[in-house]
Structure 1
Amino acid sequence: MNELINDLLRREADAISTIPVKEGYEAAVEILYERIHQQHGKLVTSGMGKAGQIALNIATTFSSTGTPSIFLHPSEAQHGDLGVLQPNDVLLLISNSGKTREILELIDLAENLYPNLPLIVITSNEESHLALTADVVLPTGNPKELCPLGLTPSTSTTVMTVIGDILVNLMMRRIEFSSEEYAKRHHGGYLGHKSRRLAKGMERLAKEKS
């Protein structure tokens, strides 16, 4: 059992280490910075199934670190939730295959409402219609799933999560996000307490230097 677990961990780690690092990350950060932090738009993430859960996690992490973001369910978008979109928003869509019907339909719906919204895509299929439609493609590297059937999203969702984490961290650096700002957005729990303590420490150091 331990040998199997170690092998699974190694395969997950290998998948993360082989995520393609391309210029798309820099382009994505600049789009997010311009549309959200300069033009007061927001990030709208979306995905179906497991990819949707990753998209939701990315949205909440962005919001807590200074970049307003929401998750839009692609099916609910067809029943009125599309109205959450605004002219200066950015779409971040996740589809491992790049062929998810609901995501492709969401692009058409969004285009009909507000033409030319910037589109960032996380996918394993760089030749898919979704990828070819995007302004920026962040490829996963198409790792094989850990699932013994090769079907259940596992390794693919791991790398999607990591790509989201990278984007969040790059944006935090781009906007120089501070512990004080974090504390304003995350009041409760251990992280709220820790961020307020860090903010007070930074304030004390600044006073000492002055």
Structure 2
Amino acid sequence: MEESMRQIVEAEARALHAIPYSDAYDKAVGLILEHVHRRGGKLVASGMGKAGQIALNIATKFSSTGTPAVSLHPSEAQHGDIGVLQPDDILLLVSNSGSTREVIELVTLARRLYPAIPVIAVTGRAESELTRVADVTLLTGGAEEVCPLGLTPTTSTTVMSVIGDVLVVNVTRRTSFTAEDYAKRHHGGFLGFKSRNEADNI
């Protein structure tokens, strides 16, 4: 078990270090700042299956750090939930393959409502349908899953989560978000107590 654990941790750490950097990160942060913080829209994150759970995680981190965000299930979007979109929103779509049918269809539905809505894609494939329709693509590096079958989203979801963290942290820095601001959004639990305490000591 110890050897297996070390192999898994090392494989996922290598995948994280191999995330390719490009100016797409600057563009993604700029789009979020423009649409959410200047125009008053929100970030709408979506993905299917395990990637959808990462999208939800990213949305909640954005919301707690001063960037209004929601998670939209791509299948439910086809049954009316697409109505959550507003003109100045921005889509953040997560799909390792970049070919998830429900996610691609979500782009079509969103642009039928608002043709200019920007799309940030997080995917493992540079040549994919999602990359083709996105305004900005953040590539994961396409590392193999540590799952012994090579199928279960493991490494890919770890990398996607960290890419989300990169976006959240850099938007938070650009908006000068403070502990006092955090405390207003996170009243309960240890983090609420810690943020209020830090705000009081400023």
TM-score normalised to structure 2 length: 0.99
Correspondence for 1:145: 145
CA distance, structure 2, for counterparts of residue 20 and residue 201 of structure 1: 39
Deviation, structure 1 residue 7: 1.0
Any idea what the Cα deviations from partners look like across 1:131-187, whole Å, max 9, x if unmatched?
011111000000100011100100000000000011000001010110000000000
Amino acid at match of 1:131: T
Query: Where do 1:1-210 residues align within 5 Å?
Result: 1-202=1-202
Deviation, structure 1 residue 120: 0.1
CA distance, structure 2, for counterparts of residue 168 and residue 133 of structure 1: 23
Secondary structure of the residue that 1:37 maps to in structure 2?
Answer: helix
* Structure 1 gaps, min length 5: 203-210
Amino acid at match of 2:153: P
Instruction: Report sequence identity in percent.
Output: 60
TM-score normalised to structure 1 length: 0.95
CA distance, structure 1, for counterparts of residue 170 and residue 180 of structure 2: 18
Correspondence for 1:207: none
Amino acid at match of 1:33: L
Any idea what the Cα deviations from partners look like across 1:62-88, whole Å, max 9, x if unmatched?
000000000000000011100000000
CA distance, structure 1, for counterparts of residue 188 and residue 89 of structure 2: 28
Any idea what the Cα deviations from partners look like across 1:96-150, whole Å, max 9, x if unmatched?
0000000010000001011110100000011101101111100000010001110
Q: Which has the larger radius of gyration?
A: 1
* Structure 2 gaps, min length 5: none
Any idea what the Cα deviations from partners look like across 1:39-80, whole Å, max 9, x if unmatched?
000000000000000000000010000000000000000111
Deviation, structure 1 residue 192: 0.2
CA distance, structure 1, for counterparts of residue 74 and residue 59 of structure 2: 14
Task: Kindly report structure 1 stretches of 4+ aligned residues shifted beyond 6 Å.
Answer: none
Aligned residues: 202
